[in-house]
Structures are given as C-alpha cells and as structure tokens.
Structure 1
Amino acid sequence: MTSDPDDISSNPSANRPFNDIAAAVLSRRSVLRGGTAAAAAGFLGLATGTAGAATGPATSTAARPGRSLLGFSPIPTSEADAVSVAEGYSARVLIPWGDPVRPDGPAWRKDASNSAAEQAEQLGSHHDGMHFFPTGRNARGEDTGLLVLNHEYIDQALLHTDGDAEMTQEKVDKGVAAHGVSVVAVALVDGQWQQVDSPLARRVTGATPVTYTGPVTLEHPALDSNNPPLGTMNNCSHGFTPWDTYLACEENWNSYFGTEDESWQPSPQEARYGIDNEGFGYRWYEVDPRWDIAVNSNEPHRFGWVVEIDPFDPAAVPVKRTALGRIKHEGALVTESRARLVVYTGDDQDGEYIYKYVSDAPWQSQRARGVSPLDEGTLYVARFDDDNTGSWLPLVFGTGPLTASNGWQDQADVLLRTREAADAVGATPMDRPEWISQHPKTKDTYAALTNGSGWGAANPRKPNPYGHIIRWWEPNKNNTGTTFEWDIFVLAGDPAYDDSVELSEDSMFGSPDGLWFDPDGRLWIQTDISNSAQLDPEQGYDNIGNNALLAADPESGDIRRFLVGPRGCELTGAVTTPDQRTLFVNVQHPGEETDTIGEPTPENPRAVSNWPEFDPQGRPRSATLAIRKDDGGIIGT
C-alpha cells in the first residue's frame, strides 16, 4: 500500500495532545537551562549514540557513562535485499510463511497455489509478535520449546496466483486462514535450530471458534452477529502470562470490513474505530457477508480484543478477554506488582492512547478460586502532563463522565467503546503507541511511538515522521498506582534532516515499533519505517536504509545497530531463549510494495524482494530468524 492507514487519525476529541505538552516542557527547560540544545539534552534524559551522559530527572534511569552492556560492533545501514547481522553472529531462516506447522502437513507451493484448506495447516503470513515457551528437560529448557507467533495481515498480490483481480470465496477463506497465530515446536539440534514434530503444534486462524469472558460476553446484544464467533485477525504484538499462556492482540481489525451498499454511512462509533465502506482494500465483503458492514454490523464488535491462547492445550478454545478493552491493541505487556497482574497496551493509530489494566486482587488468589486475573480488574488510560508527571485515569462506569446521564449504559458499554471512554476522561493523544516493554531491574516502562502528527509534550515534534521512545516510572516501582513521572528516552531520526536528533551513523534509526528488554536490561528496538517513506529523501529516510534491529543500554546511553533486514520488510517479534544464547526475530512482509523500489504483481512477485530463497520462480516470504553468536555466547555481548 502507498500509505499507512495507521498514520490517519480517527480521534475527533479536543483532548490536549502530547505535542503541546512536550513543547511546553521544552520551552520551560529552554528558559531554565539557557538554550535549546541544553534543554533538549535535559528533556530527552539520554545523550544517544555512543558518547555522552544524560541529565534527566534524578528519579529516572538516566544514562550514565561507563561500561556498556553492548559488546558487538555496530553494522552500517543497508539497502540490500539481504539480512546483515553484527560480526561474530549468524542468522538462519527457521520457519517461513507457508511451511507446514506439522512436518507431515501440506508442502509450500512457490507459485502461491496452496488452497485455503492447506493454508490453514501452514505457517501464516506476515509474522509479527512472538514468544518462546521452553519445553526442554533441563532446568531452564533452552534447547526445545514452542514458538508462538502472530500473523498480522496479508499481501493479496503474493498470497494468490492471480492476486485479487477477481475476489472469490476461496480467496477470502485463504486470506482468513493466513491470519491468526501459529504454535510451532522447535529444537536445537547440533547447534542449529529446526522445526520438529509435536502434538502441540497447531494453527489458530480467523475461522477458529472463540469465546468471550469479562463484562462483554456472547450474550451481549452487541456481539449478536450473523455467524458463529470465529477467529482472531490482524494480530500485531503479543504478551504472555505467568501461567504460560499467550496473548494475541487484535490491531487493525477494521481493515477487513466494507460494503458495496451506497446508502450505508458509518455511525459515530464506527467512525471512531476507523470503519468505512472500503477498509484497507481487501474487498472480502464483495463475496462474504461476514465482512459486509451493512449486512453484518455487529461483527466488528467481536474484534479489537486481547485473545488468550493456551499453547500447551491444543483443544483449548481461544478466549477474548474483554476487561482489557476494545481498541487496536498493539501488544500486552504483562508484569506483576504488589502480587497483582498489570497489563500495559498501546492503541496503534495516530492520536490514540496508552492503557494499563490492574487485576482487582492478587492474581494467584484469583486463579485459586477459578477466576482469570484478566477478567476482574480495572482498565486505566494515561494522561501525560507538561510537568513530566502523569496520571492513570480509570475507565469505570459511574466514575467521572462515564455515567448513565452522559449516555453510558454499563461497564460493558465502556469497554465496547473504549476509545470514546478515553476521549471522555481526557486522556492524552499520542503518536501511534506501539510496543511497550519494562526494564527487568528498574521497572521503568518504555513505549515506542512510531510516528504521527505530533500530539503533545510526550510527542515533541509536529509533525513527527521519525517517532521516538518514551518511558515512565511509577512511585516505589508500584505499577498498580495511578501516578507516574515520564521523560523521552530517545528521539529517532536522521540528524541530517533534524538537528534535534542526537543519533550517530551507528545508532540512527526511524519509526521505532517493537521493543523488548532482555533479562540483562538491553532494550531491543525493532523499526517499522512505512514502505511509503522507506529510502525516500523527500521524507528524510534516504540515509537510514532498510528496517533494522538495534540494541540500547539505558544505563550507559549506548545504542548500536545489530541487524538490517531485506527490502520492503519490517523487523518484529524479538525474543531470546532463557539462556540468552539464541535470539529469534521475525522478518515481516519482505517484498511488499515500496514507493522507491516498486510493486509486486502476480506476474512479478519478486519486484521488490526475493528473500529468503531467491528462487527465480518463487516469491518473498515472511520468516523467523534464529540468531546465534558464533562462539556460543550471550546475544548482545
């Protein structure tokens, strides 16, 4: 696609945006510190690159000069159709799109002629969020496990032999089957990771039966649709629980709905969630009434949730946990604080919000009495203030403006209309909130803001084409509380185009998306430069190259580029094995339409990329990489 729909806001609220708040902070610090350069350094809390110390708030984890956690040499940017990785490391393709999830399943056909039924038994398309669940016999289980990964969306020019020139029910069914989640068994054999057989391996697709718990159940009239409750769609990032379940997060679910009914107009609620008559151009509604918004108006209410999947029970029905709200969930960072379960999530669209959920009681006691900690709790939304403090505002029926007199019916209504509830309480609109991760030692929480229009102090550029990473810390490391302090960890971008950027050639990046802290405290940053901007000098992206994976040490202020992906891709889903000697990372949508390179077609699916197989008759495939240090050491050292 030539533009990213996430860059277009559907937020009509008058809430004070993050750009205004950031501008106020910068202005105040400029006066106090006597100059914009000094103000910027103090505001950012981190002098990025490979030198310099930060001067952020004393209570933050501001960078300190000294020995870095990063032991590898940074690699340069690249525009090549290849994966490049730091010296001393090797990257191996493990599980690409179309491989069977069980070794005896249907084989991949390089001409895209696999049927919908076959795709339902194969790895889905566009690998995204991912977690490794150990299953090994040794104490840490680092040599065998289950990789559970999301499949965010599809490219119909690559999925079908003739693209989408004519829409058919078979194409819709194949597209639905290419979405969802894969559970794949893997093992380290003679120093190489490979897929192995397991009765636990399975697919969850857009047609898998699901159920709903929490305040919004299947008995709610808003979920009364013209078909059974089926599937999970557009799963972006993820989470995992202390009881070893996987959380898939439904992001751009609105993209599949549309209608040919010219009389249909979106309701205010539908417009608030970006539902229109075309979606993102999939055109499934032309042949399948499930996706026709004029015919099946309640089906969208079944999406936008966090979905819990038990990877160790193939018979378990996926559960949509409605207490966590209905938005475009980018991910679900799960942490424990004061014995309670806390879940952070971002709503990935320009001008949307950051949320936090806190269980009502200690999570272990909830489970002991047969209650899910994800069903009984309070959902909050963040407000960032221009004095570098913030508040978590409860989204609870009967609290503040969320009353019957203001048109709210009950808690289920609040959760079905989470975005509108957040508008009402005065949350801070942000520049596309993406992945959220927490430092394992300090408990500071970091969020990627990919890019956007510039929505306030926590979003200091207007517009903000490069994005940035914010962080906050809550008093006494208590993540269940309702106040926090915040700063900006790093402004992404190219200093050749923006002199507020303090990144070097070794650390320069744009559009941060995925964030993941390893157990030692390295922050792994995965980028998602839109293919409408990638390599484009008019948008300031010609020096940054293809999307990349970088590592940052918040303590020393060191950021280094570790891996660069092939053309047209983004990097996502980074996670290590428990011993930190293997890093798994996904290469998503290589070969997708890129304005500066070209557009794949059924006749030439290799127009942008032919990674990873470079088969002259094949096509690009999303895939998981298994990265090992050549000396067998810990990743990042």
Structure 2
Amino acid sequence: MRRLLPLIGTPDSHPGGRSAMTCLYRCGNACFHEIPNTSDNEYVGDVIASALSRRSMMRAAAVVTVATAAGTAVIGTGAQQAQAATEAAATTAKSDKAARGLRFTAVAPNLTDAVVIPDGYAQNVVIRWGEPILRGAPAFDPDNQTAAAQAAQFGYNNDFLALLPLPGERGRQILVANHEYTDEVLMFKAYDAANPTREQAEIAWAAHGLSVVVVEEDKRSGKLTAVPRHHLNRRVTATTEFKVTGPAAGSDLLKTSADPTGKKVLGTLNNCAGGETPWGTTLHGEENFNQYFANSSRPTDARYGIGTGATERKWERFDKRFDVAQEPNEVHRFGYVVELDPYDPTSTPRKRTALGRFKHEGATVRLTDDGRPVLYTGDDERFDYFYKFVGSKKMKKGGSRSAREHNLTLLDEGTLYVAKLTGDSPAAEIDGTGKLPADGEFDGGGVWIPLATASAKGAVSHVEGMTAEEVYVFTRLAGDKVGATKMDRPEDIQPSPTTGKVYVALTNNTNRGVGSNAKADEANPRNANKHGHILELTEGRNRPESLTFAWSLFLVAGDPTDPATYFAGFPKEKVSPISCPDNVAFDPHGNLWISTDGNQLGSHDGLFGVATKGDRRGELKQFLTVPTGAETCGPLVQDRRVLVAVQHPGEISGATVEKPASIWPDGAGKIVRPAVVSVWRKDGCDIGV
C-alpha cells in the first residue's frame, strides 16, 4: 500500500520546508534573520507603462479555459489528491502519449530513503564525497580524514553539474561539480559546534569549492563511473588562488592586508548553481557567502545578511580574513560568478566582477545573433532581484589559443541590468490567494534597467549617487536605488535552446504579505508563498539583448487540487504535485526539468519534467525522488542519461555521524555521503521517448 503523505512538513521543518539543520549549515538561518532588503521599492503593477502589457503581445485561449476550471475547483485533502493526480498522470502516459521526452511512468510522492526512479530505468552512483580523484590521493577514511586528503578527493554537498565533451577519449566526458557547503555534524564524529578544531575547519575549507573529474560510460549498461587520477582531474577549494577581473578588480573596496592589489583572492565559497559557456568554460555562482563572515557592524554588510556576531562554523578563529572587524574588505571579495576552464588544470579561475556581487544562485549564457554573450543570474534572497549582463565583445570561434584567451575576457566588458516588472491586471484582482485575474493569466511586461557599463576604457555607473565600483561591489543597493522588482527568491534561470524564452525559478517566500512585508503582486501572486512558481520571459523580438520583455507565470507550484496552482493551462488532474522549484535545465526535446528544494507537500524532493510548448504544454511529471533529508540539485538531461546531484542526504535536525537520519548511499553502518547519480533506461533507448 502506498503511504499517504501529510500536507505540512515535519516538526523539524523551517519556513519553506527545509530541515532546521539545512537552514543552519546552508544559509546561516537566513529565514530567521531580518530580511536584508528594507528598501521601499515600488512593486509590480505600479511601475511601468501599460504599453508594455503582455496582453497586447500574446494571448492563449487555453488559459481562459483553465481559469474557469480553477475558479470552480475545490481544495481537497492534500496528499490523497496529490497522489491521485500523480496516478492520473501515469494513466495518461499510457492512454494518450505524453510529450516526447516525458513518456515515462511518473514517480509517486514518497518518503523512501533512496533515489526512486521510474519503472524500466536503472541507476548508479557516479561519485561520492571523499572519493580520490587526484594522483596521490588516499582512499576515503572518515575516521582519519585530513585537509590534504580532502583537497585531493571529491568535495562535499555537490550541487551544480556540467558534463563537457572530451575530444579524443571515446566514451568519456568531463564532469564539473560545485561543492556548496559542509555539514560538519555529519562529517566528524563527536563534533562540538561550539569548539571546532583547526583541523576540522581546514578539512571543511578543502571540502568546499569545485571538482573536475573525467567520467566514463559503460557501453553495455549506460552507467557512468569516475576515472580517478586523470590528468584533467582537479580540485578547487576555499584556499585556491583566484584572479579578480573586470571593473572592480584593484578597487580600494577589494584590497586587504594579504592582497594590497585587490586582484587576488583565496578560495570560493557556497557555490550553488552555475552554467556552461559556448566557449567551453563553466560558471559557478557564489551564493550564501555571508554566513562565513563574523563581527560586522556596517549597513552595507547588513544588506547582504552578514551578522554582527560569531559564525556557526567559527572559521574566524583560525583565519582573520573571516573576521570583518579585522579584515573589513575580505567579504567584498565573495559573492561573484566564478569562471573555470576545465580543459586546463593549470589555469587560474576568475571572479567576474562585471556580473555584480550578490547571492548568485547560478549563471547561464546564450549568444546574441552577432556572437555577444548574454548572461542571466538570480539573487536567492526573499524580496531580491534577478539580473542580466549583455557583453560588448563577440565570441571567437575555434579552439586556437588566441581564441580561448579572447573568450576568457568576454564577461569583463558589457552592461549589467536588473529586472523591473509590471502586471497588466488591476491591483484589486491580485488578492494574495493565487486566484487568477479576470484575463485568466498572471502576466505583464518589463524592462531591464541598466546599472553600470564596463569597457576597456573604464566603467560608468548608471545609478545616481553610486560610483561604478560601488555598483559592482554593492549591487543589491544599486538594485534598490533603481526600484527593481522584489521577487520570491529568484534562483536558477535558463533560456530555452528551442524557443528562446527564459525561465526563472522562484522557490518560495513565506514572508510575502506577512506583517509590513511587501504584499502579493501579479508576478508574485500569493502571500505566504510556500510552494513557489516559475516565470516565463519573452524578450522583445525574441532577442536576448532586448531591454524589454513580456512575462507570464508558466507554473504556480503546489498541490494540483489547490485552486491557487497553475500548470500553463494543462489539466491539473493529470500532473504531478510539485513544491519549491530550485534548479532548472532543458532536455534535447525542449522540455524544462525542475529540481526541488524544501518540498512542502510532505514528500521528499525530486526532479520533474514539464513540456513548454505544443498541445502538451504544462504537462508536468515527476521523474525521481531523493533520499531522506536530501535536496535534488544540478540536473542534467541528455539523450540517454539523467544526472542529479544528491545534496545533504540525512540532513535532519538531531542527526549526527553516530545517529544518522539516512543510510544512503552505502547502507547501514556507513557514513552518509552526498553523491552524483546517473539514471538511464534499461533497454538502452532515449530518456522519455
């Protein structure tokens, strides 16, 4: 018998459905601190002329149909109906064909301590925390771990994943992974959070960062395995040397006692999502960097959520650069997008200041028709913004040394923008419940507001009262000044490779409309928004460099039986329940794949595929779920393989090494380990066809 799931989270849950331990170690209990954005920006619906209305640009008759259906829906008993919806989706897959790429039996919501996949599919663990990847690295031994060993082994809490081609080595690819943060209480026996040791801190420094590891496909089964000690394998940690590039490099705001040039930084922290570039590099977003820095008293730091007291990990005891009182500028050297060349293990990674400083969830790139990069990135904070960078230099094609050197400068010159949106419905129709307005759709228009422009001749600020250097280092404050639209935690952003539309994952915001906080607006239509939604942008003339866009809510997440949910007009009784969209990716068929973080529907987090075009648009199906306490990260969907990063398994309050909350991936008696998982069809055919 299938287990029926409750609508609410466990008693351990914090706002947004996360475990209290996740809130502690991942983001420094951000939800329990004051909201950093205290600006009085105008909100959606009040800021832009109605000429930008999306209504004048596109209208789908199907939307009106679903609006009528939503208006007559009745809230059910939660998990029972959510599970019924999943079963209906599975039945639909048999009785009429699902969208190409989504033809699998949907996985039902569950609480299984495993990676649960559809019937007819198989899986394997590609690589785990601690597995040796560099020459000379020892085998993983959690009872005798050292910083030197960890610096040569796969890092902790894998997040973003990239798979790059490896010319000349048939059946092999290059896997690049972020390692967002560490759960010391799940890494070290008898861990004393009040008194960590220097050795534990240094191991944690080495477990952060990035890993580059070659992987090989088994031709008979389709599984992937890591190739240890390959010459391209690499670890980047919290103590690796980085170059600071772009308009803020050398600024007085970035100079420290250890680096009086302001152009050299040790390490990268809290790398969450990322992206691949058309010129063969990977991008990595530094997100909740604020939690690593102690003892600040400055308003600019408060805007970034940097605390006035000690940090949870106490790193400031072992390196003064984490103590703002001693090194006030070190914190200004984190919160950037990092660019890495995985094909050159001797290269120095770069922090790209032209892309702004905030809590980058990720960074995705596409090219204009004339070959200039356009990069999208979100600031993962309640009531913060999402951004676009339009480069001024064209990419050079080919693999010559001169082309690669040129392309490694593309993200240093161009203009940084922030998004401002308006709805096209009367404010009275946006009541905070998620009820669709009279026109049957949450939609409107928007503009990209320029913040600063960088060139070889220097940088120019477009924000009154701020210098260019201040815009790039205090980007949140620049967004405040120009009245950017406050969003419900903008996370991953992905442009569709088939339609050009841009999708923004907005995970949740339980503070929306609570107390004196900003109330619901058309782009964020639910107060106390615990399930999140996905925004779809169509930029003017479908050109990424355009400064205007139309938008609509493609998906409003939650229990499909709840009238306050919406699935692009697709019948809601035929979709899987989804909550808290986080990372997004596209498959070869143009379907959007969504991983979740903090599911508020009583099930484990998972990975979902949804059609974005055609008569199946909005058809959403769950492909997998992850183990107890885990989050689904870094989804990659190839023709014959799906990869996910299973992050923080067993991350449940009260869990320790001695008393684990999960036994994944290696079974009882083994330490819980974050890992990368590959899934494929047993018959060798393409995913979902």
Residue 480 of structure 1 is aligned with which of 521, 541, 545?
A: 545
Distance 1:510 1:20, change over 3 A: farther
Match status 1:202 vs 2:234: yes
Pairing 1:38–2:64 present: no
- 2:76 is matched with which residue? none
Equivalent pair of 1:474/1:484 in contact (CA under 8 Å): yes
1:415 aligns with 472
Q: Take 1:382 and 1:185, find their aligned partners in 2: how far apart are those partners?
A: 38
Shift of 1:443: 0.4
DSSP-derived class of the 1:385 partner: strand
> Using the alignment, how far apart are the partners of 1:121 and 1:247 within structure 2?
21
The letter of the residue matching 2:198 is Q
Amino acid at match of 2:38: P
Q: Hey, what's the Cα distance between the residues in 1 that align with 2:376 and 2:637?
A: 21
Amino acid at match of 2:325: A
Whole-Å separation in 2 of the counterparts to 1:572 and 1:67? 25
Partner Cα distance (2:395, 2:560) in 1: 46
Whole-angstrom CA distance in 2 between matches of 1:588 and 1:72: 25
Deviation at 1:278, TM superposition (A): 4.2
Counterpart in the other structure of 1:586: 645
Shift of 1:50: 9.0
**Native 8 Å contact 1:353 1:433 kept in 2:** yes
Q: Deviations over 1:110-149 (max 9, x none)?
A: 44x31111111111110000100111448xx6x2111000
TM-score, normalised relative to structure 1: 0.85
1:282-317 deviation line (CA, Å, top 9, x unaligned) = 221233212112111111111011111111111100
The Cα of 1:40 is off from its aligned counterpart by 6.4
**Which letter maps to 1:241?**
T
Q: Secondary structure at the match of 1:254?
A: helix
Secondary structure of 2:305's counterpart equals coil
Corresponding residue SS for 2:266: coil
Whether 1:522 aligns to 2:582 is no
Question: What is the identity percentage for the equivalent residue pairs of Structure 1 and Structure 2?
Answer: 38
Q: How far did 1:490 drift? A: 0.7
Structure 1 pair 131–357 and aligned structure 2 pair: CA distance change class (3 A): same
CA distance in 2 between partners of 1:422 and 1:100 (Å):
43
Q: Aligned equivalents of 1:89 and 1:21: distance in 2?
A: 49
Shift of 1:367: 5.4
**Partner in structure 2 of residue 246 of structure 1:** 282
CA–CA separation in structure 2 for the residues paired with 1:81 and 1:368: 45
* C-alpha separation in 2, matches of 1:155 and 1:447: 28
Which residue in 2 is equivalent to 1:57? none
Match of 2:111 in 1: 79
Change (3 A) 1:614 1:359: same
Cα distance in 2 for residues equivalent to 1:574 and 1:162: 34
The alpha-carbon deviation at position 12 of structure 1 amounts to 1.0
CA distance in 2, matches of 1:494, 1:50: 10
* 1:62 counterpart residue number: none
Residue 576 of structure 1: how far off its partner (Å): 3.5
Counterpart contact for 1:18–1:430, Cα < 8 Å: no
CA deviations on 1:72-123 (whole Å, 9 max, x unpaired) are 1101011011111011111111101111123752111244x31111111111
Distance 2:208 2:362 in 1: 16
Q: Report Cα offsets for 1:436-468 as digits up to 9, x if no partner.
A: 112111100001000013353211101100001
Aligned residue-pair number: 581
Secondary structure class of the residue paired with 1:395: strand
The 1-side partners of 2:142 and 2:318 are apart by 26
Q: Which residue of 2 aligns with 1:320?
A: 351
Look up the equivalent residue of 1:147 and give its one-letter code.
L
Aligned ranges for residues 172-187 of structure 1 at < 5 Å?
A: 172-187=201-216
Show CA shifts across 1:391-440 (max 9, x none): 0000027989723xx2x23x222101110011111110100001111211
Contact map agreement 2:450 2:462 (CA 8 A) in 1: no
Residue ranges of structure 1 left out of the alignment (5+ in a row): 42-47, 53-64, 260-264, 535-539
Aligned to 1:631: 683
Partner in structure 1 of residue 7 of structure 2: none
User: What's the counterpart of residue 471 of structure 1?
Assistant: 536
* Aligned pairs for 1:53-92 within 5 A: 68-69=99-100, 70-92=102-124
Contact 1:401 1:425 (C-alpha < 8 Å) held by counterparts: no
CA distance in 2, matches of 1:492, 1:561: 13
RMSD of Structure 2 on Structure 1 (CA):
3.0
The answer to which of 371-380 and 493-502 deviates more is 493-502
2:432 corresponds in structure 1 to: none
Alpha carbons of 1:281 and 1:508: their partners in 2 closer, same or farther (altered >3 Å)?
same
Would you say 1:451 and 2:508 are equivalent positions?
yes
How much has 1:39 moved relative to structure 2? 9.5
Decide whether aligned partners of structure 1 residues 400 and 564 sit closer, same or farther in structure 2, where only a CA change above 3 A counts. Answer: same
Contact 1:97 1:123 in 2 (8 A): yes
Letter of the structure 2 residue corresponding to residue 337 of structure 1: T
Cα distance in 2 for residues equivalent to 1:367 and 1:103: 31
Q: Do the aligned residues in 1 keep the contact of 2:492 with 2:584 (CA within 8 Å)?
A: yes
Partner of 2:271: 235
Does 1:102 pair with 2:155?
no
Q: Secondary structure at the match of 2:235?
A: strand
Q: Distance in 1 between matches of 2:679 and 2:87?
A: 28
1: CA distance, partners of 2:461 / 2:166: 47
1:547 counterpart residue number: 605
The alignment partner of 1:130 has SS state of: strand
Contact 2:245-2:350 within 8 A present in 1 as well: yes
The answer as to 2:175 corresponding to 1:147 is yes
Q: In structure 2, what is the Cα distance between the partners aligned to 1:114 and 1:231?
A: 20
**Structure 1 stretches of at least 4 aligned residues deviating more than 6 Å after TM superposition:** 19-22, 33-36, 48-52, 397-401
Deviations along 1:572-618, one digit per CA (max 9) or x if unpaired, are: 111144xx21221110000002xxxx5212432x1x211000131x2
State whether residues 557 and 565 of structure 2, in contact with CA within 8 Å, keep that contact through their aligned partners in structure 1.
Answer: no
CA distance in 1, matches of 2:530, 2:46: 16
Q: Any idea what SS the aligned residue of 1:423 has?
A: helix
Structure 2 residue runs of 5 or longer lacking an equivalent are: 1-18, 72-81, 89-95, 260-264, 425-443, 454-458, 513-517
